[in-house]
Structure 1
Amino acid sequence: MKIFITGGTGFIGSALISELRDCRITVLSRDPARASEQLGSHVQAIGDLDQLASFDGYDAVINLAGEPIINKRWTPRQKALICESRWQITRQLVAKIQASAQPPHTFISGSAVGIYGDQHDTVIDEHFDIPAHVAADDFAHHVCQQWENIAREAESDATRVCLLRTGIVLAKHGGALAKMLPPYRLGLGGPIGDGKQYFPWIHLDDMVRAITFLLHTQDAQGPFNMTAPDPIPNKVFSRTLARTLHRPHFLFTPAFALKLALGESASLLLEGQRAIPMKLTTLGFEFHHRHLSQALTDLLSH
C-alpha cells in the first residue's frame, strides 16, 4: 500500500509509520532529510506539497499535522496558528484528492474529543448531539468542527473519510503523560481542579492499531472516538498514576492557578469528555489496553 502522511515525525505519526513498515510511505516535513533519517528507509520525505500534482497512485492519505493546542496561552495570534496549522494543510490535501483521476480510497484526518465541549459525566459516543452553546462559544469545538468540515469535502464514491476524534494519547516518551511523569515521580502529582472532569485516554499502541484498523476496514467512515472504552475522572487517573509509580498522592492543582498560568487554554485541563469508542468496537476493533491501571503498568514497566 502506498500512503501519504502529514505529521509523520510526531509521536503518533512516527509510531504509526513504524507499524506500517511494509507500506511505501511519503511524509510531508519541514526538514525532509531529517525526517528520512528518523523514520527509516521505507519512507520518502518531501518538503512541499506542491511537489505533487495530485494523489494519483496513492492508496490512502493520513493527516496528523497541527500546532499543539495546549503548549501556549491562547492569544489571538496563537489561536490563529492553531486553526490554520490544521485547516490550511487539510484544504491542500483535499484539493489534491479532488484533483486526482484515481484518488486514494481512504482519507484519515485528525480531530479531537474537544469537539464535544465540556459534557461533565454524560456518556458521549459519535452520535452525540453537540449543544448549541458549545457550537457558539467553545474554541476547541470551533477548531475541530471546521477541521472536520474541510476534511469531509474529500468524500466521494471513490474516497471514504475517517475522522479521528482523539482523546489524550498516553505514551512514555511523548504527549501528556511524558509531561506529567517528572512531578509525579517527585511525589508532587495530584488532580487538577476538583478532579471530576473526565479524562478520555488511549494507549499509544491502541491509537496506532486503531488507525491501521480504519485504514483496512472498508466500511469505516465518518467520526471515530479514539479513546479507550473506560474513560475515568481526572482524580482517578491521578491516583492511579501515583499508585503505579509508588508515589504519594495528596497534592492538587487549583483551578484558579491554572487559569492564571494558561488563561483560556486551561479549559482543556479543567473540562472533559466521557467519550467512548462505540463505532470502533461495533466494527470489531479490540483494544489491547481497556483499563487505565493495566495501560500505565505497560507503559511504565518498560
Structure 2
Amino acid sequence: MRIIITGGTGLVGQHLIPRLLELGHDVTVVTRDPDKARARLNPAVEVWKGLYERENLDGYDAVINLAGEPIADKRWSAAQKERLCQSRWKITRQLVTLFKASQRPPSVLISGSATGYYGDLGEVVVTEEEPPHNEFTHKLCARWEQIASEAQSDHTRVCLLRTGVVLASHGGMLGKLLALFRLGLGGPAGTGRQYLPWIHIDDMVNGIIWLLSHDSLRGPFNMTSPYPVRNEQFAHTLGQVLHRPAFIRQPAAALRLAMGESSVLVLGGQRALPKRLEASGFSFRWFDLEDALHDVVR
C-alpha cells in the first residue's frame, strides 16, 4: 500500500513507520519541518512539507492522521487551547478536502482522537457507545472526529482512534514520569482513584495495522488495554518495576495550581474498554500493566 502519514515524527508515528516499512508498504510523511523529519526517519520514507501543493490524493491507498500539538506540555490558556484545536482540525480539514477532490480517493482514513472525548466519567465503564461529558477535551476531540468523518464515502471508510496513555520507552506521559520515579519522588496524583486508560506502544501500532488491513472496520475505536487501572495502582506498579518507593502523593490543589485547567488530564480519567476493537477479532499482546511497564522500561 501507498500510505500517507501526518504526525509521523511523533511518539506513535516513529514506532508505526518502521513496522509499515517492514511489511512492504510505501510511506510518505507530511510535516512542517522536512529536515527534522528526514533526520529522524528511515531514508526510504518520502517527506512532504505540508499539503498546500497537493491537488488530490489519487494514487494513494490509505491516510493515517496523527498530527497534533502535545496536549499536556503547556497550561491551557485561551491561546494554547486554540493552538491545540487548530493543530488537529486544520490538517484534518485539508485532508478531507483532498479526499473529496480525488477521483480515486484512498480507501481508508485512520484519524487520531483520544479517550478525552468522553471527559471525566469517574467509575463509569466507557465503551464507544458511552455519551460524553461536555468538557474541553470532548469539544476538541468531537470536532476533530466530525471533520475526519466527512471523508467517509462509498470509496472511503473512516476509523477514529480514541487513544489512551501510550506506554513507550521514550516520550509520552511515561517519559515525563520516569525521571521523577527513578529518584523515588513519584506517587499517585490527587486521590489516586481516577482511572488511567493505557496501551502498550506495540498494541497501539498493531491496532492501527489491524484497522488498516480490515476493510469492514470503520467508526470509533478505543485504543486502550482491556484492563485500565486506577492512578494509584499505576504509580505503585511503576515504583515496583523501577525498585523505588512511590508514595509521595501529588495533592490535587497543587496540581491545579501548577497546571491550571489541564490538571484534568491527571486528576480525571476514563475507565475505557476496547469493546469494538476486541469484537473485531484483534488480540492484545499486553494485558498486564506490570508486564507492559517492565517491557518499556527495559
How many angstroms apart in 2 are the aligned matches of 1:207 and 1:37? Answer: 24
- 1:221-236 matches, cutoff 5 A: 221-236=218-233
Q: CA deviation at 1:33?
A: 2.9
Partner of 2:97: helix, strand, or coil? Answer: helix
How many angstroms apart in 1 are the aligned matches of 2:112 and 2:88? Answer: 9
1:39 maps to 41
Partner of 1:51: helix, strand, or coil? Answer: coil
Determine if the alignment matches structure 1 residue 244 to structure 2 residue 241: yes
Q: CA deviation at 1:121?
A: 1.3
| TM-score, normalised with respect to structure 2 | 0.98
Letter in 2 for 1:9: T
Contact 1:23 1:42 in 2 (8 A): no
Determine if the alignment matches structure 1 residue 277 to structure 2 residue 279: no
- Write the deviation string for residues 72-95 of structure 1: whole angstroms up to 9, x where unpaired: 111110011001000011000000
Letter in 2 for 1:91: R
Q: CA deviation at 1:285?
A: 0.7
1:64 pairs, out of 57, 63, 66, with 66
- Write the deviation string for residues 192-215 of structure 1: whole angstroms up to 9, x where unpaired: 000000000000111011001100
How many angstroms apart in 2 are the aligned matches of 1:221 and 1:296? Answer: 30
Determine if the alignment matches structure 1 residue 152 to structure 2 residue 149: yes
1:253 maps to 250
How many angstroms apart in 1 are the aligned matches of 2:257 and 2:109? Answer: 40
| TM-score, normalised with respect to structure 1 | 0.96
Structure 2 stretches of 5 or more lacking a match? none
Letter in 2 for 1:67: E
Determine if the alignment matches structure 1 residue 16 to structure 2 residue 16: yes
How many angstroms apart in 1 are the aligned matches of 2:14 and 2:96? Answer: 23
Contact 1:33 1:45 in 2 (8 A): no
RMSD across aligned positions (CA): 0.8
Bigger Cα displacement from structure 2, 26-35 vs 107-116: 26-35
**Amino-acid identity (%):** 53
- 1:62-141 matches, cutoff 5 A: 62-130=64-132, 134-135=133-134, 138-141=135-138
Contact 1:2 1:24 in 2 (8 A): yes
How many angstroms apart in 1 are the aligned matches of 2:36 and 2:59? Answer: 25
How many angstroms apart in 2 are the aligned matches of 1:193 and 1:182? Answer: 20
Q: CA deviation at 1:4?
A: 0.6
1:218 pairs, out of 215, 235, 249, with 215
How many angstroms apart in 1 are the aligned matches of 2:28 and 2:62? Answer: 11
Letter in 2 for 1:114: G
- Write the deviation string for residues 54-107 of structure 1: whole angstroms up to 9, x where unpaired: 000000011000011111111110011001000011000000001000000000
Q: CA deviation at 1:298?
A: 1.0
Partner of 1:242: helix, strand, or coil? Answer: helix
How many angstroms apart in 1 are the aligned matches of 2:171 and 2:120? Answer: 25
Aligned residues: 296
Determine if the alignment matches structure 1 residue 166 to structure 2 residue 158: no
